[in-house]
Structure 1
Amino acid sequence: MRPLERFGDGSASREFRPGCAAGAARGTASDSGEAGAVYGRVHGSRTGEQGQEGTERRHGMLKVQWIAYAVSFISAYAMPATVPVLPALAEEFAMPESSMGLLMAAFTLPCILLTPLFGILADRVSPRLILLPCILLYGAGGFACGTAQSLEALLLWRMVQGAGGACLGLLNTTLLGGVAEGMERSRFMGRTYVAICAGVMFFTLLAGWAGGMDWRYAFWVPSLFTIPLFLACLLTRLPSSGVRRSFPDCCRGMAEALRSRRVLAVLGISFINIGVNMGAVMTFFPGYAHLRFGTPSSGLGMCYGLSALGMLAGSLFVARNRRFPPFTVIRAAALLSAGGIALMPFLPSFWALLVPLWLCSLQDGAIRPCLSAVMAGLGGREQRSAVMSLDVTVFRLSQSLSPLLFGGALELAGYGGVFLGGAAALLLLVLLVLSAQGGRP
């Protein structure tokens, strides 16, 4: 492979210099001077052009980064914005507490079905052609939820919102993957999760405040933030992945990844991690706090907003961590969270619940970036999109099924069964970590 092909324009010029110097040394002094002058003019011109192109490229990369962070921020509002008004929705539509998980499942089920499809389409066409209509569906569906007059209509509009949100959690990382590699990509991934944490905290507080006036405002106000995001994506040139794989090729790549025991173990860790947080904590904690302590919607929103700081702290720790391997972080976070969730039924006040909530959010904030890094490494360069698509699908599947599973635990054993079941699931997660490690840290 020639130096130009291997190192690129900037490094190739450095490889070329010794050759020029050697050629000049073999010639006469005048030839050397003339060759040096010609080389200086040509190389200086090329360097200037490359410098301008590099500056434009960096500006373009910076725009794409901010779009990806904005998509991550906005994508966080659909789930946590619903949590503070779950008791109000149950009262408005005469829903039993065990059916609250339907609101979560109605959003995530379309994500399960459409995320792989959107991933393939985004590889075959421009990501912007997929992202723009999805942002419109996401915002319009969320706004329409606030106009629902029946439970059926609310569930329908949640599914529309879920159809739009199916690609947001996938394309934000896809965009960053197109402008960064190696350690730089890892840093961008950490910042993405920081943006998600900030979105969870902001929209939970906003929905709690708006839902305190009327539950419909909890849907209307956050959905307005999709308008500037749509305009920004419309005016920004987004890079294409350059991959042109057929649908059968993508299916074969997914099947190949699923034959790996380590991939299956990591997917199981992902399923349990989000399942405990979405099912045991986010779905049923509001009903538990409202029933036992009479907590209003504004108090629930503030509580979740403060606990989201734990998620932010976990993500920042992973982004700055240089000492502990990913599986070590996952194992420690799961054990801490299991202890906190097991204490929830025995705590005497609502404010005491902030401690286990903080631990649960710390667990989620630390585990999710670690899992993304592990999955990206397991996929390799050729199969990375297939493996990451599996991860996103499992993530959404857990969001859909876990509220229903823990709803069954509520019917059988009450809220104590929900929280103790969540703690037991996290202990199972630790066993899967040991299996995924395969004897390595």
Structure 2
Amino acid sequence: MKFVMFTPAVKTSAIGRMTRLVVRQLLSSQHEVVVVRTESQHVSATELHDFGCTVLPWEDDSQITREIESADCCVYQIGNSYEFHEGAIAWLAKAPGIVCLHDFFLGHLFFGWSQNRREEANRILTQWYGTKIADEYFQIHDGSVFISKTRDEAPLTEWISSMATCVITHSNWGCDRVLAACPGPVFVTPLAYDAPGASDSELPATSNKLNILTIGHVNLNKRVESCILAIASCPSLRANVRYRLVGAILPETEKRLSELANDNGVELIISNEVDDATLSMAIREADVISCLRWPSLEAASASAIEAMLYGKATIVTDTGFYSELPDEYVLKISVENEVEDLKKIFLSLRSDQTSANAIGKQAQKWAQATFTAQNYARKLEQAAPAALRANVLLSAVEHFSSIIEKWSANPELLGTPDMLQPLSVFNTNTIV
């Protein structure tokens, strides 16, 4: 088969990293793949993932059109960032295909797209969520308030799903909205990911302290404050735990967290953004990786998967994607009792640091067999024919819509039993 794969290609994109693995697996299985980069023009493109095939910018309309005409299927890797996925949105509307949905909350993607399309954006909001939400949506100006007010009421999952011929996503927890909007089947398969810096050899211990690590952009939903407060709550932890942050952090956030740690006698190391080699070493040196998320908005967590692939004990919030991870391979804490649960886990691992290693090794073996490019490529091979069948249904609906429009009739006629019954033969809207 020939796939046209729309994806971010810059090295800073974890979705691009995942797609690179899948593209190379498809190529090794004798499929043809053309990659279309989807970043906005202002995104720096100095370092790109190496996909091993032709890579086109999404603005190259004529060449991409020719590639699509000779392809079996278009595949869109989409997450909650407009600057990384601008090209995917532009082409999805013109050439529907499989959407690989990386987040169940797409508010930031939609907000970025809507800036020069306010009338169309209001129509979409009204269609899916009603006039009240549409009227209030663009009146929210605080980032954290925006998420809290819209993540349940208007996540915009339906907006993208309705444009897809089928959807592949990476956990079950947000699939109800996808099923409500996608005209074709919905596939759930583990995210493909790797840990190129992982090693079977153990690093020699540099101290007797328990080393805890949080990686990625340091924001409120990483729950860093809760980790600091859990360590601060016990003299034994304050004396025997080192907590490190590796990832982009705003100056005001760094100042606030540093003051909180200093005031409570917690050893906190803030490393900010680092290169790949330094990040890999930080993960290897850690005993425990904190992958807390609240609220949890993603269909899968690359950082949690990477932590397990490195063989590290991994702490997660018992919600969303993380709830679906087997209990024996991760350490789960509740949202309602966050600090106390963290304290208990830290004390347990501090008193028996060999248990952290044992948990990590079990998780590593499971993750290596689960989060593979081979599994993901097979799912794409399975989804492509289903997407083509769903496209028949979409074409039929479009045909009937044009006829009804010419008659100046009410489009709601398409929702009557007489119309829906003949089309039901094509309906494959289910989770596979």
Bin of the TM-score, shorter chain as denominator length: under 0.3
> TM (normalized to structure 2)?
0.23
Larger RCO (CA within 8 A; separation ≥ 6): 1
Instruction: State which structure, 1 or 2, has the greater radius of gyration over its C-alpha atoms.
Output: 1
> TM (normalized to structure 1)?
0.23
Answer 1 or 2: which has greater strand percent.
2
